[in-house]
């Protein structure tokens, strides 16, 4: 920190200083002195409040631990527990009914339902792929995944596999945009007559059952496209008889392109490993490039040099002859870090400052470029900045976030509520007080999302001393989890989210299991959610089909009369409560959790990979991030606390699973084996997450991972 430079009442790391003064500020008309003065004043006021809120978390947790330990061995008393939580301020009084009033929200966030991508913004290629995932080929998504049985044969185009994709897509079109008296598979041609479009089956004409689905077209000789809209989402039928796929189609249908990822979260949090000023400068630079529209990434793939940049908008002619321009990119949100972590990138009185406040001012300042654009690709056409705020505990912390972004708006000269907040409902105190959390940002909120992975981690940590938890696989069927998922929708609808803001659901964690996703994830729009997370552009394309088959607005209307789950159900922890597990069950879960922790942590600590496909204990690739690591580590800690496993058994499992993870990564030239020494930063991180799991704030993984990653970087630089 000796190379930090003074600015106002702060000292700033050179990587952040140069990014701000040479790259960030010149294009937004804000002088460096004014920026640092405003930032310093904001930190002076908010940093102590941030510390107070974190201490309140710890104080509340200590009181909960004491209450359950006093009643150890007694039956769970839900009534007494709820009264206790109200007494200590964990539960707050519920105020009068209200409706959110967030202004100037883009339709992708307010009124149209569709998939949402989450991607590490630190990886420029992934960030661009996510931004460009607004449109995608349904044929390609089907052809290249297990959505269809079997797989493509040979190196070139497999016509048999292609026919499978064509048949599946035709069936989908029959359900989404049906023709009157014919199936899409039977179409031999198309006829556009003025404002109408009809399908031909031989000489017979078959209009769409709802002719209004036809909203646009392009025509270039034999190459045409028909633009359809249903449930607010677009489908493009691409006609090209000369194409290898089109020539096999009687109608010349080459592809079915669907509007897929309406929104994309560019993540500065759980999916990246940014632990110092250099890392953070890289994160901010990529987000800035997305906001200016200048981010480009060049890479090698299959022996060829490829370049990614932001996609252009798409233009069609409407049936009445006017021009229809549709966005070529997802509307992007940026996920800032939560309130917990501090950073040495900016110091106040020689002390680290809240990383979340640094994220707030840097990412919003970068978005000013988008707000001031007069040409080129726009992110928000309504003039808003969309920020996702994770890991907040209760209404007071949400109100603190509101004040933080108000400060940022004032420093940057932005109108109040320019910054819109997506609130992650992923901590127990937020779930239990969700209506009041929403009220705290009622004129700024743009989504509420169930982060069920982190939420499970907090469920375990909050009730760590209450008893041993049921096995991880059983948690998916626990009563509290359904109450949480249903309650999130119920509260959001009661507070006026319908047609105004997103109600979101969580990630599909099996990126290669698309057939299973197609069967399972339709449950998210059926639950009344207007969006749900997907791990890839391909998954976004396939999940988009669900929003054509389910009218979310209709589902929300039907759900409004549903009785809200009792608070006691949400607050009763899923404990074994005297049930005995077999030695085999315990050993299996222990190995599974230890393998998952190590498989994720070794990439995070040694290689700085914050999110990736990690083989599980059965070698099935799963999408892992800090949230999944939080669950696994807290599980083992909980079972250790309550004597289901011993320290020796955990140590043994860690060593055996480290060897397994080493074997799973044997083909990675950058991988550093953990065995046989078991003394590297990665293995130590996994060890700390378990054996120091009780003392980790809210069971979060960040403090351990950040410390061990910095240790690894220092060793690698030596």
In the set 625, 630, 688, 708, the catalytic residue is: 625
Facing residues of 424 across strands? 449
Tokens of 690: 């378990």
Backbone angles phi and psi of 618, in degrees to 5: -100, 15
Tokens of 134: 């607004």
387 three-state secondary structure? strand
Q: Is 454 annotated as a binding residue?
A: yes
Pairing of strands 263-267, 331-335: parallel
Burial 370-383 (b: 16+ CB within 10 A, else e): bbeeeeebbbbebe
Q: Is 680 annotated as a binding residue?
A: no
Q: How far apart are CA 350 and CA 203, in angstroms?
A: 81
Q: Is 172 annotated as a binding residue?
A: no
Other residues' Cβ atoms within 10 Å of the Cβ of residue 196:
13
Facing residues of 502 across strands? 447
Q: Looking up tokens 């140069």, which residue turns up?
A: 18
Answer for the pair 109, 505: CB distance below 8 angstroms, yes or no: no
Answer for the pair 379, 295: CB distance below 8 angstroms, yes or no: no
Q: Is 453 annotated as a binding residue?
A: yes
Q: Is 709 annotated as a binding residue?
A: no
Q: How far apart are CA 466 and CA 463, in angstroms?
A: 5
Q: How far apart are CA 548 and CA 33, in angstroms?
A: 51
Q: Is 75 annotated as a binding residue?
A: no
Question: Is 248 annotated in the active site?
Answer: no
> CA quadruple 424, 429, 431, 435: dihedral positive or negative?
negative
Facing residues of 216 across strands? 227
Answer for the pair 379, 387: CB distance below 8 angstroms, yes or no: no
Q: Is 118 annotated as a binding residue?
A: yes
Q: How far apart are CA 543 and CA 630, in angstroms?
A: 27
First-to-last alpha carbon distance for the chain, in angstroms, is 18
- Cα 687 to Cα 124, 249, 603, 680, 710: the distances in Å are 32, 58, 15, 11, 17
Q: How far apart are CA 139 and CA 410, in angstroms?
A: 48
CA R_g for the chain: 26
Facing residues of 198 across strands? 191, 207
Residue 623, Cα to own-chain centre: how many angstroms? 12
In the set 7, 329, 335, 455, the catalytic residue is: 335
CA-wise closest residue to 172 among 185, 186, 157? 185
399 three-state secondary structure? helix
Q: Is 335 annotated as a binding residue?
A: yes
Phi-psi category of residue 232: left, alpha or beta, with phi > 0 → left and psi -120 to 50 → alpha: left
How does DSSP classify residue 526?
A: H
Q: Is 644 annotated as a binding residue?
A: no
Q: Is 84 annotated as a binding residue?
A: no
Q: Is 98 annotated as a binding residue?
A: no
Tokens of 661: 């993870």
CA-wise closest residue to 625 among 647, 601, 653, 650? 601
Q: How far apart are CA 366 and CA 631, in angstroms?
A: 34
Q: How far apart are CA 701 and CA 627, in angstroms?
A: 8
Question: Is 625 annotated in the active site?
Answer: yes
> CA quadruple 337, 338, 343, 346: dihedral positive or negative?
positive
Q: Is 452 annotated as a binding residue?
A: yes
Tokens of 689: 């997450």
CA-wise closest residue to 122 among 267, 263, 23, 265? 267
> Which residues are annotated binding-site positions for Mg(2+)?
426, 454
> Which residues are annotated binding-site positions?
118, 125-126, 271, 308, 335, 426, 451-454, 535
Q: Catalytic residue positions?
A: 335, 625
> Which residues are annotated binding-site positions for acetyl-CoA?
118, 125-126, 271, 308, 535
> Which residues are annotated binding-site positions for glyoxylate?
335, 426, 451-454
């Amino acid at each position: 920190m000796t190379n930090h430079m003074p600015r106002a009442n702060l000292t700033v790391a050179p990587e952040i200083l140069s990014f701000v003064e040479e790259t960030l500020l010149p294009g937004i008309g804000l002088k460096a002195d004014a920026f640092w003065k405003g930032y310093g004043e904001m930190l002076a006021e908010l940093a102590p409040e941030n510390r107070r809120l974190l201490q309140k978390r710890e104080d509340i947790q200590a009181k909960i631990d004491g209450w359950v330990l006093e009643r150890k061995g007694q039956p769970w008393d839900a009534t007494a527990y709820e009264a206790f939580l109200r007494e200590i301020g964990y539960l707050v009084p519920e105020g009068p009914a209200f409706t959110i009033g967030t202004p100037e929200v883009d339709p992708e966030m307010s009124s149209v339902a569709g998939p949402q991508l989450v991607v590490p913004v630190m990886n420029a290629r992934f960030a661009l792929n996510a931004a460009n995932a607004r449109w995608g080929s349904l044929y390609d998504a089907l052809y290249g995944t297990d959505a269809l049985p079997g797989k493509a044969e040979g190196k070139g185009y497999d016509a048999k596999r292609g026919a499978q994709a064509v048949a599946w897509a035709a069936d989908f079109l029959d359900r989404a945009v049906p023709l009157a008296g014919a199936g899409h598979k039977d179409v031999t041609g198309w006829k556009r007559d003025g404002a109408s479009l009809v399908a031909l089956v031989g000489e017979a004409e078959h209009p769409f059952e709802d002719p209004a689905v036809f909203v646009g077209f392009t025509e270039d000789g034999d190459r045409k496209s028909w633009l359809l809209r249903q449930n607010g989402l677009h489908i493009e039928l691409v006609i090209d008889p000369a194409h290898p796929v089109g020539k096999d189609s009687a109608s010349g249908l080459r592809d079915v392109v669907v509007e897929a990822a309406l929104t994309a979260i560019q993540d500065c949090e759980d999916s990246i490993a940014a632990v110092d000023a250099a890392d953070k400068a890289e994160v901010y630079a990529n987000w800035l490039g997305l906001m200016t529209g200048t981010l480009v990434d060049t890479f090698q793939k299959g022996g060829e040099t490829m370049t990614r940049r932001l996609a252009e908008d798409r233009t069609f002619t409407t049936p009445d002859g006017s021009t229809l321009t549709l966005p070529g990119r997802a509307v992007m949100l940026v996920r800032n870090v939560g309130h917990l972590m501090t950073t040495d990138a900016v110091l106040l009185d020689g002390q680290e400052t809240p990383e979340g406040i640094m994220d707030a001012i840097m990412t919003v300042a970068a978005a000013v470029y988008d707000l001031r654009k007069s040409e080129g690709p726009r992110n928000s056409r309504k003039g808003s900045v969309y920020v996702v705020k994770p890991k907040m505990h209760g209404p007071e912390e949400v109100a603190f976030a509101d004040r933080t972004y108000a400060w940022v708006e004032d420093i940057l000269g932005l109108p109040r509520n320019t910054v819109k907040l997506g609130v992650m409902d992923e901590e127990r105190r937020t779930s239990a007080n969700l209506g009041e959390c929403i009220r705290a940002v009622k004129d700024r909120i743009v989504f509420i999302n169930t982060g069920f992975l982190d939420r499970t981690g907090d469920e375990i940590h909050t009730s760590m001393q209450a008893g041993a938890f049921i096995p991880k696989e059983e948690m998916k069927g626990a009563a509290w989890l359904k109450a949480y998922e249903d309650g999130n929708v119920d509260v959001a609808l009661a507070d006026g989210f319908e047609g105004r803001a997103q109600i979101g659901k969580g990630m599909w964690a099996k990126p290669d299991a698309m057939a299973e996703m197609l069967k399972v994830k339709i449950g998210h729009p059926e639950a009344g959610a207007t969006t749900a997370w997907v791990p890839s552009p391909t998954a976004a394309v396939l999940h988009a089909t669900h929003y054509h088959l389910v009218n979310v607005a209709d589902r929300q209307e039907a759900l409004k009369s549903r009785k809200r789950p009792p608070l006691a159900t949400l607050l009763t922890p899923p404990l074994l409560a005297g049930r005995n597990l077999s030695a085999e069950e315990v050993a299996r879960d222990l190995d599974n959790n230890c393998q998952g922790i190590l498989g994720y942590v070794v990439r995070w600590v040694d290689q700085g990979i914050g999110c990736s496909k990690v083989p599980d204990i059965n070698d099935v690739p799963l999408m892992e991030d800090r949230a999944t690591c939080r669950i696994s580590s807290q599980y083992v800690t909980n079972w250790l606390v309550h004597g289901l496993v011993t320290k020796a058994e955990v140590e043994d499992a860690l060593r055996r699973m480290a060897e397994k993870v080493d074997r799973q990564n044997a083909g990675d030239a950058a991988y550093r084996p953990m065995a046989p020494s078991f003394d590297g930063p990665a293995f130590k991180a996994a060890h700390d997450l378990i054996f120091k799991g009780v003392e980790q704030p809210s069971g979060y993984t960040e403090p351990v991972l950040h410390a061990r990653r910095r240790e690894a970087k220092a060793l690698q630089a030596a």
